[in-house]
Amino acid sequence: MYDRDLLLYEALRIRMVEEKIIDLYPSDQIQSPVHLSIGQEAAAVGVCANLNISDWVFINYRGHAFYLAKGGPLPQFFAELMGKSGGISKGKAGSMHLADPNHGIMGASAVVASTISHAVGAALASKIKGENSRVFVANFGDGAMEQGAFYESLNFASLHRLPVLFLCEDNGLAVHTSRGDRQAFDVKKLSAAFGIPFFSIEEGYEPSIVAEVSARAITKVREGSGPVFLLIRTLRYKEHVGPGEDFSAGYRSEEVVKAWQQKDPLFENSTKFYEFKTRINHEIEDALNFAYLSPHAKPEDLLTDVI
């Protein structure tokens, strides 16, 4: 059983961090484009509740939620978005290329689907070295399923029985294009064609459900039977990139978002949530103070840490 309050706390923490980013964005203190995870927090929190430090997650450009849920430090997170030398990558990665190997958060990329094959390669290396019980998570959106690297990775991971969790956060959109206008396949049947077990979660707003179902999928991978596909239906509340709303663009319905929000437990108004928010606000302010005091990266630092 999972502590639902703890899961909700972690999800609320992610949302409040990103809401703070929205507050700061007009001031130009955030020196990076941002793809916000607001609305999708439960996926990251529920999955990461079943992962160990030794498990690696290969995140994508909408990666704030997984970075935080996997244990990435908040002060260095804000410093990174501000282009400060105290950032997790010394201010050179920004929002779309977050990484913290110390917590098993492997480098994100702005290139759609590019980190899927990285996860498969890491899983292959782990198997060659004879490591047991490690899980390598390839985290991607439904838009990535139209890239060639996705199919190649499914095939290779299945052929070599690699410990990969193919984790799709399906928000139904690739930028402004809906799934029905992009995909001619049924993802469950596609997974079956490669001999990969398939799990799906419709209630992507509820972290406890995500935790329970993903536990079964992750356990199957950890036991060494090969890759597993986990699809989580979810919804982003903000525009594709940036802090604003985009309903005027006409590609999605505000009513659909409102219907999802009515099921979203993070909108709860209770004494418990007031206490959560008080604690989280203190943490955010401390993290921001670290980021503000951290010096900006210097031009001469540009080519350091380059191999």
Mean pLDDT of 272-288: 98
Name beta bridge partners: 28.
none
Residue 51 belongs to a domain: yes
Determine the angle formed by the axes of helices 4-24 and 271-293, rounding to 10 degrees.
50
Residue 282 belongs to a domain: yes
Alpha-carbon distance of 108 to 101, in angstroms, equals 11
Alpha-carbon distance of 159 to 147, in angstroms, equals 19
Q: Is the pLDDT of residue 303 over 90?
A: no
Verdict on whether the full-model pTM lies above 0.85: yes
- Say how many domains are in the chain: 1
Residue 299 belongs to a domain: no
Instruction: Report pLDDT digits (tens) over 163-188.
Output: 999 999 999 999 999 999 999 999 99
* Tokens 């994508």 belong to residue: 60
| Amino acid letter, residue 84 | K
Q: Is the pLDDT of residue 259 over 90?
A: yes
Residue 302 belongs to a domain: no
Give me the domain span that covers residue 134.
4-291
> How do 228-233 and 136-141 pair as beta strands?
unpaired
**CB burial of residue 39 (10 Å; 0-12, 13-18, 19+):** buried
| Cβ contact 26:53 at 8 Å | no
Q: What is the DSSP string of 152-195?
A: HHHHHHHHTT--EEEEEEE-SEETTEEGGGT--S-HHHHHHHTT
Name beta bridge partners: 58.
106, 138
pLDDT at residue 270, as a whole number: 92
Local structure of 3: helix, strand or coil: coil
Residue 53 belongs to a domain: yes
| Cβ contact 29:82 at 8 Å | yes
Mean pLDDT of 40-59: 98
| Cβ contact 116:59 at 8 Å | no
Q: Is the pLDDT of residue 13 over 90?
A: yes
- For the chain, percent of residues with pLDDT exceeding 90: 94
| Amino acid letter, residue 156 | F
Domain holding 215: CATH number? Answer: 3.40.50.970
Alpha-carbon distance of 194 to 177, in angstroms, equals 27
Residue 59 has φ and ψ, to the nearest 5°, of: -90, 175
Q: Is the pLDDT of residue 116 over 90?
A: yes
Could you give the residue ranges of the DSSP H alpha helices within the chain? 4-24, 41-48, 64-69, 74-81, 114-128, 148-159, 187-193, 207-222, 254-261, 271-293
Token pair for 196: 């990969």
Residue 303 belongs to a domain: no
Q: Is the pLDDT of residue 307 over 80?
A: no
**CB burial of residue 25 (10 Å; 0-12, 13-18, 19+):** middle
pLDDT at residue 298, as a whole number: 84
Token pair for 135: 């899980």
pLDDT at residue 297, as a whole number: 83
Average pLDDT of the residues of the chain:
96
pLDDT at residue 107, as a whole number: 86
Comparison of pLDDT for 31 and 278, the residue scoring more: 278
Residue 306 belongs to a domain: no
pLDDT at residue 64, as a whole number: 98
Mean pLDDT of 94-108: 95
**pLDDT-derived band at 191, boundaries 50, 70, 90:** very high
Q: Is the pLDDT of residue 299 over 90?
A: no
Instruction: Report pLDDT digits (tens) over 53-68.
Output: 999 999 999 999 999 9
pLDDT at residue 81, as a whole number: 97
